[in-house]
Amino acid sequence: MKKPALDARLRAAAAYVRQDAVFADVGTDHAYLPLFLLAEGRITRAVCSDVNEGPLAKAKEHASEYPFLSKMSFHLADGLEALSSEGLTDIAVCGMGGELIADILSRAAFVKNNDIRLILQPMSRPEQLRRYLAAEGFCIEDETFVRAAGKSYVCMLVAYSGTPYALSPFAELFGAFPNVRNDAFLSYLFEKERSLRSAAKGIEQGGGDAATQRALLSDIEKFKMINHLEVAYDGT
């Protein structure tokens, strides 16, 4: 069976989708993820939504190359608006900034439901998304770091628990499942360390207070020591 090739980000997202899910892909663009899941026989129905007409037209055009149109619907919608009555079990929001993903969730009260699985893949600022999830009582059940197009990205498996909690600045930045055996995680850790060092230096050279950056750098040092990562990673 023909199926779209997914990059590592979307493969990580696909792996979190449950068998026989009623699946929504928010910001679907090319619809690769729902088409892949339909081709694999993993989902019973795919709700594809995008806020922009161009990407939604692309999704429809691409979907017409596959024999799944009867199991697909297409919605021109901002975030999860208009999707509350679709009976969704698993919802992916991939390939957007962490703040935008948090904003989309904040405008969809129906996702505060323990039966709904959220699969979130921020392209930037995952720490802002983790902070939002913790404050709103969404449990981050798992995370996978992957490399795609030469960069590290994280994909999160999330469900509502109703119990808000707080994350340390380190956990906001690196997640609750730091896996030192995963090269994608290590690259991310060392990239962040480098950018925090340069930010701290810049702030201090300008006479400012880099206490936040220095505290995080100290946590990173401790993490590296505990995990025998004393040698600076060269990022390759």
Ligand X SMILES: C[S@@+](CC[C@H](N)C(=O)[O-])C[C@H]1O[C@@H](n2cnc3c(N)ncnc32)[C@H](O)[C@@H]1O
Residues in CB range of 199: below 8 A, 6 or more apart: 210, 213
The one segment of 37-45, 63-71, 96-104, 157-165 that binds ligand X by CB under 6 A: 96-104
Instruction: Give CA–CA dist 27/219, Å, rounded.
Output: 35
Q: How far is the CB of 213 from ligand X (least distance, A)?
A: 29
Q: How far is the CB of 30 from ligand X (least distance, A)?
A: 7
Question: Which residue of 23, 38, 95, 105 would you call a contact of ligand X, by CB under 6 A?
Answer: 95
Q: How far is the CB of 156 from ligand X (least distance, A)?
A: 13
Instruction: Give CA–CA dist 54/26, Å, rounded.
Output: 14
Element (H, E) at 71: none
Name the residue nearer to ligand X (CB basis): 52 or 113: 52
Which of 149, 3, 122 minimizes the C-alpha distance to 140?
122
Name the residue nearer to ligand X (CB basis): 51 or 215: 51
Report the residue closest to ligand X, judged by CB: 95
CB 87, CB 22: distance < 8 Å: yes
Question: Which residue of 48, 63, 104, 155 would you call a contact of ligand X, by CB under 6 A?
Answer: 104
Is residue 50 close enough to count as binding ligand X by CB under 6 A?
yes
Strands (E), the chain: 21-26, 43-50, 72-76, 90-97, 117-124, 138-148, 151-160
Is residue 122 close enough to count as binding ligand X by CB under 6 A?
no
The interface with ligand X within residues 66-85 (CB under 6 A) comprises 78-79
Cα Rg of the chain (Å, integer): 19
Is residue 34 close enough to count as binding ligand X by CB under 6 A?
no
Give the residues lining the site for ligand X (CB under 6 A). 10, 26-29, 49-52, 55, 78-79, 94-96, 100, 104
